[in-house]
Amino acid sequence: MEHTKISTDIEQNIKQFQQLFADSADIKMKEMRLGKGKKRRCFLAYIEVAVSNMLLETTALGRLLAALSELPDRDLNQVLNENAMGISDVTPYDTIEDAAQGMLTGDAILFVDGYGHALKIADKGYPGMGVQEPDSEKVIRGSKEGFTDSIKTNTALIRKRVRSTRVKVEEVQEGVRSHTAIDLVYMADLKYESVLRQIREKITEYEIDGVMDSGILEQLAEKKWYSPFPQFQTTQRPDRAALAVLEGRIVLLCDNSPVALILPTDLNSFLKTSDDYYNRFGVATFARILRYMAAFFAMTLPGLYLAVTNFHTQILPTPLLLSFWEARIGVPFPAALEVILMEISFELLREAGVRLPGAMGNTIGIVGGLIIGQAAVDANLVSPIVVIVVAFTALCSFSIPNEEFAFSFRILKFYVIVLSAWLGFFGFLIALLTVFIHLSRLESFGIPYLMPFVGADVNDYHDERDSIWRAPLKKMVRRPIYAKRGERIRLRKK
């Protein structure tokens, strides 16, 4: 695309700018005169709600225009060239197209007659929500701040927690029409340059109309797109992102998205929470053991129930077997169909709870589950034990901290159910084996997905101290494998 150089003739600049934004009612363009004698013409363009009242003394734009109005005409060009006022963040542009793109970031663009540049003057910017507590990743102890839709706010929230000159922020733009800002945040002395280079290549590999959320970049950059397991870790918590930066990992922020991507990642990272590091090691270890058990049962419990009750009843105690048999008297469906119908019903209730507004959504999940489950049992359509199994499975999936990771187990649950209903316990073992083989073949930017359960010797087995169990903080002296060799000591006595 050929760019038009900004002219010193303001009439030409006005004409070009008006052509670019023809039929755009939200773009405001005003002509004014600057200098003591009000002889120098200028032209201001901005998006209606993104710029404050220009006459207010409290705004950078208003103060700049007021100061320029008092200058002698002969001094205007020199002052603009040197930004001698120092009032606001002023960025010069040489082409009309660059100036237009600068305005679309939410700032004002100023053209001055006889001056061959356009000036971007930062103002309040686009409207957006302030810093709030994230809906997901709730913690008992730790910060209650969450990421917002503004990428500048999000980078500031990370810098607020890691106040180091070694924290670097690289910005690129993606989307040939949306021009969405993408920031890569990392610690310069801890990250691997090869990993950073791979990430740059992945996010710029495709040309796309628009990037509305970090999830679009995640899907385009995933190496094994067919895997149910996410290869990018997501978070809405600045403290979680800051911890990742301190580990040598790279945080990807996308404008207009409150969800950051952390990479590389592994399975173990998805089962950690921020407050695991703020609580004592005993509390954190107990919580992690519960989460690992929950992740296992979220995928396997319905399939295990079918394998045992349909094929291998001899492993159950006789009183328990009789209880199962009595509960199923009169149920017209086979056990496999019964489990699948109840699982689909609970998934529908969960989806309905997410989509319904406010308190109604919270209510439908609990009340709907109780009412449908009880009604199905009373109508003799399902047995009480199946309702218990399905409800416990749903409870286990809710205990997984990362929603995307939990969804992987919700999908694989049906795979285990089908194989277990077909081949019994052998089908159950085949399902587990194929899942573990798949996990062993996954990696995230060179890091095995099953770290630190495989390859732990690469970091002298220190990563195992932060896996299913969390060692006392005094013993966690080394950074994880994500950090560059030679830069892995993070705790020492003064």
What residue ranges do the domains of the chain occupy? Answer: 10-121, 151-265, 281-444
pTM (two decimals):
0.87
C-alpha dihedral, 194 to 197 to 199 to 200, nearest 10°: 180
Average pLDDT over residues 189-209: 92
What 3-state class would DSSP assign to 27?
Answer: strand
Average pLDDT over residues 94-105: 88
Average pLDDT over residues 411-430: 95
Confidence of residue 301 (pLDDT cuts 50, 70, 90): very high
Question: Residues near 182 by Cβ (< 8 Å), separated by ≥ 6?
Answer: 171, 172, 173, 174, 203, 211, 217, 252, 253, 254, 255
Task: Please check whether residue 316 is in contact with residue 290, taking contact to mean a CB–CB distance below 8 angstroms.
Answer: no
Structure token pair of residue 471: 């060692």
Task: Please check whether residue 147 is in contact with residue 134, taking contact to mean a CB–CB distance below 8 angstroms.
Answer: yes
Cα–Cα dist 45/22, whole Å: 13
pLDDT mean across residues, the chain:
87
Question: Residues near 117 by Cβ (< 8 Å), separated by ≥ 6?
Answer: 6, 80, 92, 93, 94
Tens-place pLDDT, residues 340-375: 998 998 888 888 877 777 666 666 766 677 677 778
**If you ran DSSP here, which 8-state letter would residue 3 be given?**
P
Question: Residues near 204 by Cβ (< 8 Å), separated by ≥ 6?
Answer: 172, 174
* Cis peptide, bond prior to residue 452, ω within 30 of zero: yes
The answer, yes or no, to whether residue 314 has pLDDT greater than 70, is yes
The share of the chain scoring above pLDDT 70, in percent, equals: 93
Q: How many CB atoms lie within 10 A of CB 9?
A: 12
The answer, yes or no, to whether residue 89 has pLDDT greater than 60, is yes
What 3-state class would DSSP assign to 480?
Answer: coil
Q: Which stretch of 404-413, 454-463, 472-481 has the lowest confidence by average pLDDT?
A: 454-463
Task: Please check whether residue 241 is in contact with residue 262, taking contact to mean a CB–CB distance below 8 angstroms.
Answer: yes
The answer, yes or no, to whether residue 35 has pLDDT greater than 70, is yes
Interstrand relation of 180-187 and 443-444 (parallel, antiparallel or unpaired): unpaired
pLDDT on residue 57 = 52
- Phi-psi domain of 114 (left: phi exceeds 0; alpha: psi -120 through 50; beta: other): left
What would the DSSP string read from start to end of 165-211? TTEEEEEEEE-TTT-EEEEEEEETTTS-HHHHHHHHHHHTSS--S--
* Alpha helices (H) along 273-334: 281-310, 318-327
Write down the residue that tokens 């019994």 correspond to: 424
Q: How far is CA 324 from the centre of its chain?
A: 44
Cα–Cα dist 292/282, whole Å: 16
Q: Which stretch of 32-41, 82-91, 135-144 has the lowest confidence by average pLDDT?
A: 82-91
Classify burial at 158, counting beta carbons within 10 Å of its beta carbon; exposed 0-12, middle 13-18, buried 19 or more.
Answer: buried
Q: How many CB atoms lie within 10 A of CB 316?
A: 14
Confidence of residue 482 (pLDDT cuts 50, 70, 90): very high
Q: How many CB atoms lie within 10 A of CB 314?
A: 8
The share of the chain scoring above pLDDT 90, in percent, equals: 46
Average pLDDT over residues 29-41: 81
Task: Please check whether residue 194 is in contact with residue 157, taking contact to mean a CB–CB distance below 8 angstroms.
Answer: no
Task: Please check whether residue 148 is in contact with residue 218, taking contact to mean a CB–CB distance below 8 angstroms.
Answer: no
Name the range with the highest mean pLDDT among 83-97, 106-120, 211-225, 350-364.
Answer: 211-225
Confidence of residue 426 (pLDDT cuts 50, 70, 90): very high
pLDDT on residue 84 = 45
